[in-house]
Amino acid sequence: MSQSLTQAAQAASAPDDEASDDVVAKVARRLIPFLVIGFIVAYLDRVNIGFAALKMNKEMGFTPEFFGAAAGVFFLGYCLFEAPSNYILHRVGARIWIARIMISWGAISALTAFVWSGASFVGLRLALGFAEAGFAPGVILYLTYWIPAAQRARILGAFLFAVPLASAFGAPISGSLLGTMDGVGGISGWRWLFLIEAAPAIVLGVVAFFYLPDCPREAKWLTHDERELLQARLDAERRPASEGENHWRALRNPRVFVLGAAYFGIVVSLYGVGFWLPQIISTFGVGVVAAGFLTAIPYVFGVLAMALWGWLSDAREERVAHTSAVALIACFGLAASAAYAEAPFLAMAALSVASMGTLAALPTFWSLTTLTLAGADLVVGVALVNSIGNLSGFVGPYFVGWLKGATGDFSHALLGLVVGPLLTAALLPRIAKGDWRALIRWPAVKRRA
């Protein structure tokens, strides 16, 4: 009798589940394209100095070591302000705060066109980090207000597509701007690059203020029944809130710091390669415009890997082994790119494999993080994980620049970056089991979403 009652309850809930899935799909169609475009612009404004450096370093007299450190200074400001930024977003709402972030980073990015010394460049990179802080973790937090856990890896993957898309589309655009705008109006091409690519952020910031509702109940483009159905499903998953709950208690949660270290391992390879990829490719003897198109290739493969891997992770309801496996693939790609640094075709193939492994890890990692942290820990915890991980945005470019200056080529630096994703693959099983024994049997670890 009890079995038949259970089956009847499951059958009755099936239509509601299908209906809520339809609502989630409707939400994704509405929010994700705009958020992806915003993140593309953010990421492009963050890394376009990799192209500017092809001309800027010589004109300004920047050494590889200085450029690597100055490029990474962005992440010091970014990491310091991320947790406070997420807290403010949670308090004032995503609509106001995301608009503020986009407008301020666009203005500072445009000012980078007017740098006159090394000190001014470092100062503006630091200010850009403060301005943009909180955008990526803010959007990840924002999506937890809209997307149930079962669909989260795919939806987060759709948002994080912006990382490879920004480089896949932005690299040819940046290379073309650098080549065609050089000398126009008596202004260097790299200065035009900063000015032109900053404008979309300001425009999108204004649009965000009017376009983004803070939560499902404010979405006028959903029907009343759709709003209530989606909110009920999200509330059922969420840990109950308590009066005066302390969002800052995440600072005492050891899992936050282990997750941050694991994310550091992923991102150190992403930025360590990303900031230098145009210059790595220029060693193949190609021009600025050709380097722009070639830089896009690894990221095109990265887009495909993210889509496939996010889908597989959701289908199998597993996060830990999926993230660890592609982190190991990234290790292989980085090691192979170092080994074949003198063979352009093989080096590009290896860099594409590294890109696929690194980028495919992002949606499954963030799905795991939002499942591991919940309740009061989610607001500040997501930002803190992102902050710790993005410290690698300073370490990676500086490390590559330092080794490039010391050895005269990029192969040693690429080999050194292998340590990053290897760290990720080693740490994630600890998140699943809570002890180091999981490191021995990580392939058997299964984390249900």
Give the model's pLDDT for residue 16. 56
> Tokens 């310091």 correspond to what residue?
80
Mean per-residue pLDDT pooled into runs of 10, the chain (449 residues)? 39 51 86 87 75 84 82 80 84 90 91 89 90 84 83 75 72 79 85 89 92 88 88 74 54 80 90 80 77 82 85 82 92 92 88 92 85 69 82 80 81 89 88 47 39
Give the model's pLDDT for residue 346. 92
Cα gap 77→42, rounded to integer Å: 15
Give the model's pLDDT for residue 52. 83
Nearest CA among 354, 325, 345 for reference residue 413: 354
- The CATH architecture assigned to 21-237+247-444 reads Up-down Bundle (1.20)
Give the model's pLDDT for residue 243. 42
Kindly give, in sequence order, each residue whose CB lies less than 8 Å from that of residue 174, ignoring residues fewer than 6 positions away: 44, 48, 51, 193, 197, 292
Give the model's pLDDT for residue 198. 87
> Tokens 């590889």 correspond to what residue?
64
Residues 406 and 248 sit within 8 Å (Cβ to Cβ): no
Give the model's pLDDT for residue 244. 46
